[in-house]
Structures are given as structure tokens and as C-alpha cells.
Amino acid sequence: MMQYWTTLASVMGVYAFCQTLMHTVFPPEIRFIFLKIFHRLFNWCSVYCYFDITEIDGVNTNELYNAVQLYLSSSASIIGNRLTLTRGLNSSNITFGLSNNDQIVDNFNGVNVVWEHVVTQRQSQTFAWRPLPEEKRAFILRVKKRYKEVVLGKYLDYVMEKANELRRKNQDRLLYTNSRGGSLDSRGHPWESVPFKHPSTFETLAMDDEKKSEIMEDLLDFAKGGCFYQRTGRAWKRGYLLYGPPGTGKSSMIAAMANFLGYDIYDLELTEVHTNSELRKLLMKTSSKSIIVIEDIDCSINLTNRKKSGGVGGSGSGVGSSYDCSPPGAGAVNGGGEEGGNTITLSGLLNFTDGLWSCCGSERIFVFTTNHIEKLDPALLRSGRMDMHVYMSYCSFPSLKILLKNYLGYDECDMKKEMLEQFEEVVGKAEMTPADVSEVLIKNRRDKEKALRELLEVLKMKAEKLKCRKKGDDEDVEQEKRALGSPKGIIRGNSDADGVQKGGNDEEKQEEHDVENGIVDDDDGNDNAVATTSK
């Protein structure tokens, strides 16, 4: 053992002597060239190539570094032994990061790549325009040389895409509304936001499964169709029109769409928008991957059907007509077209949804809701503006089963067959909205059996009232038809008309006869004969 340490000390002494000799004999320039040649020789013999991704690129933050850090957090929790736990601002989940000077192996299309997180102390600087972190952070990507093109061509794009998905998934979604009167917030934005916490999903939405599946497939095709829209030359946007009676779940559908895609919601209040230019500015300040909503559009702005109304003032003025932005029935502010009035043209709203200004962002969904689709102008409903029309109907039997599962925890197998048959028979005839059914279930949610009995009674009562109302309406219609089609009325009307017509004809004939015979009716009522002679 003593001999081993003696040999090691001799080797270290020789190395120190050689190093001192090289520093004394060879100048720094020669040593630098020698090290450069050695590194080139080493790289030429090595089968790996290396890529450095630093945290700060000059004075700017490197977005690729942040993307790699977020991407590795999805796999570090499974493979890594030493992890860094973080939770960012407006984030609902805890993310796992690669620790300092640790490495992880990733696989992409059968190619193994090695990521290493290198952290070193930064040398102190006497002067800097921008204060820099005390530590230098960077990711080193190691891959075999023959896979270099795969990494640079596809792998890094895949990392960026996955990082964007993870960032959108981890962050809380926001609900925006336009500021009152077009005012700006402290950051100069016309939108005010709050965290969006609506729990509605397609699983809890009271709607037929077939219709829900159709909407979900359409949303997925839209979210994944960036290349398709680019290839076909179409703007990456889509419009949905939700219409139906009040209380059928239109707002819940919007929340389910946002939760399904992970999009933010911009709730546009048209009564706070004064001009078309303000409407365009609001559109420009919306972000991609968002849902722009205008609820109850027939109540917030007078956009009636021009074919029925003939335009404003009955002149048929076309799409450039101005509409008062106050609710229907309210008086116009400062007149329909005066400066300072809350007026928006139909043309401005159409350009908002399908014009050149609608292409200033990508991956947007426009959703309009209305209770009376017949009141809207056809130009607003055509394909390209409202691509998909979704009718939110009254509560059906499949919708009722979803509500029973949501509020009472009842599956179809948990209920008696006779009761299910009664529900199926009466729910379509009652025409109750999902909101009305939910209210009955919420009121009796502590007593499930009572909730079922009371709901069945309410449905039967509603169905009976609706049946009586329809029967009464039918009887009124039949009575009106019988009154209009009565034979006496027809005969009496015809005889009177014939008598008038006949009497009129007799008087005309009598006058003609008197004139021919020279009889004139004087003021005294006596008929005097006038003799006429001819010379």
C-alpha cells in the first residue's frame, strides 16, 4: 500500500513538472492552438454531437430553454431520481424539473437523446446594462451524429409543441370581459380577466350522447387542423350558433367547450362597444386558442331579419345599416346615427366574425347564443360565420338520465324498470328544460326517492297542462274555421251582395230610360215632360 502512494506521488510530480515546463517554454498562443487541435481530433473520433441551449441568449430570454424545461418535466417524474418541484403563477399543478447537473434520457421515434442540465457560477462583472443571474444555466443535448438531422428537423419542433400543450394545461383558464366604455386597464388592455373555474364538462352536460360526440369530434378536428386550414387558404377559426329555449344549457355548453379544449373565454358585451373601430380593437387584443362569446345576441343588439323588417326605417338599407346597440325596445341614444351614440353596423359585426380583421389571430372559436333564431339576419347565420348550428332542446330521456346521475348518483341499472318507463313516456311530453329538472333534483337531493317521486309528478303535471293547452288551442282553431265556413254566413253574404248589385243595376237602367224619354226629376219631386221640336 505504501508503494502505491509513492508511485502516485511520483506521477503527480512528473505531471506538475511537465505542466510548468509547457507554460515556460510554449507561449499561450501555441497552447491554445494545441488544445483546439486536440478538441477537433476528439470530436472527429467521437460518435456524438452536442447542442447547447442557454437560458439567456445575449440579453433576451431563450424561449427554447423554457420549452425544454417544461417538456422534461413531463418525463422527469418517471425516470429522474433527483427532481426540482415548482408551481408557477396561475398554475393549478405542480411541475417536476430536472435538477442541477443531472441528466435524463428521452426517446423520439426510436432515437435516444440525452439531456443534461448544467449550472455554473457566473463570473462577477463590474458593469452591465442588465443585471444577470448569478448562475449560468443551460441544457446540453447529446445525440449520435447520424441522427443529427432528425433532432434539428423534427425533435425540437415536437418539444416546442408539447411544451405549449403542457403550459396551456397547467395554467388556469381565464374569463375576459370588455371594459366599460372601452376603457383600458393598468396594462393598456381593453379586457378585464378573472380565473375561469366553471366545472361544466361534456360528461356532465345534459344532452344526447350522439349530439355531444358530434360536437366533440368537430372541436378536435378544428384544434388539430392547423395544416388543413393553411393548405386550403382559410382562416383558422370556426363559428357555433347555440339556439333554443331559455334554460337548455347554452352557457354550460360554452364552458364545456372551453374545458374540453383548454381555451380562454372572451365574453363580449356589445352594449359597451360604441363603434366598429372599437369592435376591431377588441378583436385584435384577443389571444389565440380562445373562444369569443356573444350571449343573447338578439337581446343585446337589434339585428333583426332585413327580409322581414325591410331594413332600418323600412328602406331596405342593406348590410351597412346602423343598429342601435341598446336592448330591443329601448330608445336610441342620441339618435341612430349621431356621433356619440352606441351604434354598430351589421357590416362591422359581419367583418368581426368573417372579415379581414377576423384573421389577425389563429385558432379562435366564435360562439353566438340566442333564444329566437328567426330574429337574426340570414347574413349572420351562413356558413363561414356560423358554421355549426346547435339546437339546445328541452330535456329528453337521455338528458334526464345524465341529470339523475349528476345530482342523485343514479345509473340506469340502479332504478326500477317501471319508473324508467314512466320517465321515458312522460319526459318528452312535458317540455321541461334541463334547468327546471335540475332545480327539482337539487331541492330534494338529500332524499333520492323523494326526488324521483316529485320529479315524476312534476313531469306528469307539466305534460297534462301542455296537453290541455294544446287541446284548447285546437278547439279555438276549429271553432274559428267553422265560423268562417258556415253555409248561412256564405248565403247571407252572397244574397246581400247580389241584392246591392242588382239594385244598383236597376237604378242605372231607370236613369237611362228617363233621359231618353226627356223626363227630368225636379226639386219638387214632380216629373215634367220636356217637348223637343226640331226645326
Alpha carbon distance 356, 113 (integer Å): 44
Q: What is the DSSP string of 312-363?
A: GGGS--GGG-EEE-SPTTSPPSS-SSSTTS-EEEHHHHHHHHHSGGGGSSSS
Q: Are residues 198 and 266 in the same domain?
A: yes
Q: Max alpha carbon distance in the chain (Å)?
A: 179
The one-digit pLDDT tens for each residue of the chain (535 residues) are 678 888 888 888 888 888 787 778 778 777 778 777 877 776 677 778 888 888 876 656 778 888 888 888 766 444 556 667 766 555 556 666 677 777 788 888 888 888 888 888 766 655 554 556 667 888 888 888 888 888 887 888 888 888 887 777 767 788 999 876 555 554 556 888 888 889 999 999 999 899 999 999 999 999 988 889 888 888 899 999 999 999 999 999 999 999 999 889 999 988 888 888 888 888 888 888 899 999 988 776 666 555 555 544 443 444 444 444 444 444 433 333 334 455 777 787 887 787 776 677 678 999 999 998 988 888 888 888 899 999 999 999 999 999 999 998 888 788 888 888 999 999 988 889 999 999 999 988 888 889 999 999 999 999 898 888 877 776 776 777 677 665 544 444 444 444 444 444 455 555 555 544 544 444 444 444 333 333 3
> What is the reported pLDDT for 15?
82
Residue at which a domain ends, from 391, 409, 438: 391
Number of folded domains that form the chain: 4
| Total Cβ atoms within 10 A of residue 328 | 14
Q: Identify the domain containing residue 441 by its residue range.
A: 397-496
Q: Is residue 501 part of a domain?
A: no
Task: Name the nearest CA neighbour of 144 among 244, 248, 255, 47.
Answer: 47
Q: Is residue 5 part of a domain?
A: no
Q: Are residues 364 and 380 in the same domain?
A: yes
Q: Are residues 77 and 92 in the same domain?
A: yes
Query: Is 0.85 surpassed by the pTM of this model?
Result: no
Residue 4, classified by CB atoms within 10 Å of its CB into exposed (0-12), middle (13-18) or buried (19+), is exposed
B/e letters for 346-368, b = 16+ CB within 10 Å, e = fewer, are bbbbbbbbbbebbeebebbbbbb
Q: What is the DSSP string of 98-157?
A: EPTT-EEEEEETTEEEEEEEEEEEPPP-S--SS---SEEEEEEEEEEGGGHHHIIIIIHH
Q: Are residues 218 and 333 in the same domain?
A: yes
Residue at which a domain ends, from 119, 139, 170: 170
> What is the reported pLDDT for 336?
38
CATH of the domain at 241: 3.40.50.300
Q: Are residues 148 and 203 in the same domain?
A: no
Q: Are residues 73 and 198 in the same domain?
A: no
Q: Are residues 164 and 178 in the same domain?
A: no
Q: Is residue 201 part of a domain?
A: yes
Q: Is residue 409 part of a domain?
A: yes
Residue 138 φ/ψ, nearest 5 degrees: -160, 150
Helix (H) or strand (E) holding 435: helix 434-443
Q: Is residue 112 part of a domain?
A: yes
Q: Are residues 367 and 274 in the same domain?
A: yes
Q: Are residues 88 and 35 in the same domain?
A: no
Alpha carbon distance 132, 125 (integer Å): 9
Residue at which a domain ends, from 133, 149, 170: 170
Alpha carbon distance 252, 203 (integer Å): 11
Q: Is residue 526 part of a domain?
A: no
> What is the reported pLDDT for 534?
39
Alpha carbon distance 174, 510 (integer Å): 91
Supply 333's cell numbers. 341614444
Supply 339's cell numbers. 356621433
Helix (H) or strand (E) holding 192: strand 191-195
Alpha carbon distance 241, 264 (integer Å): 18
Q: Are residues 28 and 73 in the same domain?
A: no
First and final C-alpha spacing in the chain: 178
Q: Are residues 351 and 204 in the same domain?
A: yes
Q: Is residue 7 part of a domain?
A: no
Q: Is residue 8 part of a domain?
A: no
Alpha carbon distance 234, 221 (integer Å): 14
Q: Are residues 480 and 333 in the same domain?
A: no
